[in-house]
Structure formats: C-alpha cells, structure tokens
Amino acid sequence: MKKKLLITVGAGASLDFGLPSVGAIDTFLDGRAGQTHPLAADPASNLYGYCRDAINAYYSNSPKPALRKWANFEEVLYQINLLLPYLSDPHQMHGSNALLSANSLPEVLHFGRNRSTVNGAVMGNLSSSLMSELADYFIDVCATASTTKASEIAELGQFLAALQDEFEIGIITLNYDNLFTQALPGLHTGFDTTGNFDPMSVLARIDWNFIYHLHGSVHFAMTGVGHDMHGITWTATPSKNHSVHATGRNSQDSMEGINYPTSPLVAGYGKTQQILRQPFRTYFAQVSRLVHEADSLLFLGYGFGDLHLNAAFSEVRDRYRPIVVVDWAGDNLDPLQLRHDTWSYNLFKTLPGNAHAMSRAGQSAPADLGGIKAANELEVSKDPGYPLAVWYNGMLEACRHPQKIVEHLT
C-alpha cells in the first residue's frame, strides 16, 4: 500500500503559471475601487487605497524598523469589514461602540456620482463590490492561463503524476484558481455530478486522490435555492455573473459584530468566521484528520500565514515524517540557519524542525542558496529527527525535477 502525501498549496505555487501575486491583486482592487469609490476631494484616489495607505502610514512609525509591517489586500479587506459596525449601528447592537470609535474618513463619490459620507452602507458596498470584482478577476486570469500557460500546466500534471507513482496524494489548496484541476482532472472535490455538495463524501472518504478548495474556487457559484439561496454549487465552466457576486446579497453575520460579504471566495482576515459556510466548513473539519493520516507533507508556495491552518499542522509536531517546502528565494537570501523573518518564524512554529541543523547536503556550514539553486538541490536538515527540506527554485522548476522532491519525501 502506498503511503499518503498531503499537499498544501498556497499562492506562491501559482505565480509561475500566470496567476497574480498578492501585490498585483492589491493593485487590481485599487483600480476597481477608483471607479466605484473615488474620494470626493481627490478623485484620483479611492476609499480602498486610502484605508491601505493609512494602515501603512501607521506601520511606518514602528519603533522597531525590523518589525515593520506592510498591509496586503487581505488585511485591508478585513479592516474595511471591521469598520462597518463602528460607522453604522442604528439599533445599538454592537457593544464595542460603548468603548471605541472609528476615525473619520474622507467623503467619496459613490460610483463616481453622488458625494457621500462614508457610513456602514458605503463601506459595506465597497467590501462586497471588491469581492465581486475579485471573483471576476480570477475567472479571467484562469481562462487566460489555460491557453497561454498550457505547456506549464501540462508540466504541473506530470509533476503530480510523478508524485502519484510514489504516494496516494491529497491536495488542500488555499487558492481560487483551477490550475491543479486542469493539470490533474478527476480529483474528488466533494461535489457530485450535478454540482451539489455532499458533505459525507468528504467526511466519510477513506480513499485519497482529492482536492479541497479551503478558501473557494473559480468553479464555485452561489446558485442555491429555497432556505439556502446563497448555497455554493460547482460549475464546470466558471462564469462572471450574479452567481459569483457578493453585491446585493445579505452579509455573513458574526457574534462579534463583524459582517463579511457573502461570496464563493474566502478573502481577508477573519477566515475562521467565513469558513462556517459549506463546503468550507466540511473541508476544514476534515483537515485535522488528513494531517494525522499523512505520512509525508509537501507545501507548495505556502507562506505559513494562515494561523488557523497552521494550528492543524502543529498538532503533530512530535511525529516523525518527511516534509518538503517548495518556495522561491533570491540567491542572496540568508539560509535558514541565519534567516529571521516572519516566514521562517511561522515555518518553525508550525512544523517540527531545527533551523541550526539546516544546510546543503554534505556540509554543516550555513548554505549558499545561490549554489543550491544552481545545482537544483534543497536545503536539508542534518538532524535525523527533523526530516525537513526546502526547495528555493520556484514551482515550475520543481515540476521539472520531481525526483529531487520525491527523494526527500520518502
């Protein structure tokens, strides 16, 4: 019987296939907000960009420059949602308003026409509009990638097939794109042939060979009926229409008073609240079981920034099993023995490992990442109790050297 390999896919795995970076998504949302919510006093600016820049201005005053943060689009979306009850609470339902208040925000030209004070309705419309734009954007870029990156997607399929030769594979992806389902059709998703989600097909599944989209997919659409009118179904051909748009829908309410747009995608912070819908709830409920069942772990372009997922992996820190992390790094980046940043901190907080035991195979001194990349090698652990290896040459090069990855997973 083959051993089980659990593959976790993050945003970095999609960059080589034409999908946008986190920074590119921020630029896109900034541009769309410029059309729907420009500032009244400065139409060249917009409410989304104003919020992002205000957060970054605050971070710039950090007394410890080495700890300075930068806001990404997910944080900005969360802070926008966080502001809603502080801007409008007509029925006095949000207790924090007794203790806190929002800073004033500049007036906007709502959809470029009407001058408006930014209240909860305006901010809520910005949030839902951006989620709708995000869904459309990913449908477009996935359609483009299917043709312009067809050969690269084929290489991804060959990589996954090589992994299947050695393991039963299971994929949990945090990405909205369909690269992996294009590369390896037929993976179990939990949706039946009519597009309806069957939770028990996930919860009771013994076989692997699955892909679970923990944060949504371009194939998700809100075509539910009756009591579940926002229910998510699977559509074979993604379409940009009302079924993927958050605008005009009721929000997702929370006990804390933060409301989130109802979308087929989970975006921004506050993911533990947003994943209470199906199929996200069932997918995440299954993660702990999968982590415990897996014999080896492979992380593809995952930045270890989703703490709710990290917590599941941390449950089995004391269990011996091979782990490979596929990432990209510049030639001059410090190796793990010397690296002190958020990525490396979260990596070792999540996974068992010893940074001081990491080096190039055959040497004990800190590794030269440029040399490792040139030789298509991995930075590896010399501690036999922590079989961790890190690939720094990016996702596409990993696809072209599957045996380099497999040898560290077995």
Residue range 329-360, pLDDT digits in tens: 999 999 999 998 889 999 999 998 899 999 99
SS3 360: strand
Distance of CA 400 to CAs 17, 376, 378, Å? Answer: 14, 10, 14
Measured distance CA(74)–CA(269) in Å, rounded: 6
Over range 368-394, report the average pLDDT: 94
Residues belonging to the chain: 410
Q: Are residues 207 and 261 in the same domain?
A: no
- 271 within some domain: no
Query: Within this chain, do residues 189 and 336 fall inside the same structural domain, yes or no?
Result: yes
pLDDT, position 113: 79
Name the DSSP class of 63. S
C-alpha 264/C-alpha 182 separation (Å) is 19
Q: Are residues 404 and 383 in the same domain?
A: yes
Query: 219-247: per-residue pLDDT in tens?
Result: 999 998 777 889 999 999 999 999 999 99
**Domain count for the chain:** 2
Last residue of a domain, one of 243, 265, 287: 265
Among 289, 299, 259, 283, smallest CA distance to 128 is for: 259
Residue 227 in any domain: the answer is: no
Distance CA 9, CA 213 (A): 10
**Among 106-115, 196-205, 243-252, which is the least confidently predicted range?**
106-115
What's the rounded Cα separation, in Å, for the pair 102 and 346? Answer: 31
Q: What pLDDT score does 286 carry?
A: 96
Tell me the average pLDDT of the chain: 94
**The one-letter amino acid at 337:** Q
Q: Is residue 292 part of a domain?
A: yes
- How far apart CA 67 and CA 69 sit, in angstroms, is 6
Query: Are the C-beta atoms of residues 231 and 192 closer than 8 Å to each other?
Result: no
Same domain membership, residue 289 and residue 241:
no
Note whether 37 and 200 are within 8 A (CB): no
User: Which DSSP helix (H) or strand (E) runs through 300?
Assistant: strand 296-300
Find how far residue 278's CA is from the centre of its chain.
17
140 and 186 inside one domain: no
Would you place residue 362 in the very low, low, confident or very high pLDDT band (cuts 50, 70, 90)? confident
- Answer yes or no: is pLDDT of 110 > 80: no
Phi/psi at 256 (5° precision): -75, -10
Q: Is residue 298 part of a domain?
A: yes
- Tell me: do 7 and 93 sit in the same domain: no
- 364 falls in which pLDDT band (50, 70, 90)? confident
In a domain, 273, yes or no: no
Instruction: Sort strands 167-173 and 323-326 into parallel, antiparallel or unpaired.
Output: unpaired
Can you give the pLDDT at residue 407? 95
Residue 240 has phi, psi (to 5 degrees) of -85, 95
C-beta neighbour count of 237 within 10 angstroms:
8
Using one digit for the tens of pLDDT, what is the confidence trace for 181-227?
999 999 999 999 999 999 999 999 999 999 999 999 999 999 987 77
Q: What is the mean pLDDT of residues 108-125?
A: 89
User: Is 119 in the same domain as 167?
Assistant: no
The answer to the question of residue 228 being in a domain is no
What span, in angstroms and rounded, lies between the C-alpha atoms of 295 and 169?
10
Asked if residue 303 and residue 261 are part of one domain, the reply reads no
3-state secondary structure of 192: coil
pLDDT digits (tens, 9 = 90+) for 1-31: 899 999 999 999 999 999 999 999 999 999 9
Tokens coding 2: 């083959």
- Structural domain includes residue 202: yes
pLDDT of 112 > 80? The answer is: no
Which residue range forms the structural domain that includes residue 31?
A: 22-145+235-265
Question: Given a cut of 80, is residue 111 above it in pLDDT?
Answer: no
Q: Are residues 11 and 110 in the same domain?
A: no
Average pLDDT over residues 47-61: 97
Considering the domain architecture, whether residues 96 and 163 belong to the same structural domain is answered as: no
CB atoms within 10 A of CB 343: 14
In a domain, 224, yes or no: no
Residue 126 burial (CB < 10 Å; 0-12/13-18/19+)? Answer: buried
Same domain flag for 245 and 345: no
Query: Which tokens is 111 given?
Result: 């959809």
pLDDT of residue 60: 95
* Residue 231 to residue 223: CA distance in whole angstroms: 6
The CATH number of the domain where 363 resides is what? 3.40.50.1220
Are residues 259 and 330 located together in one domain of the fold? Answer: no
Q: What is the mean pLDDT of residues 153-167?
A: 98
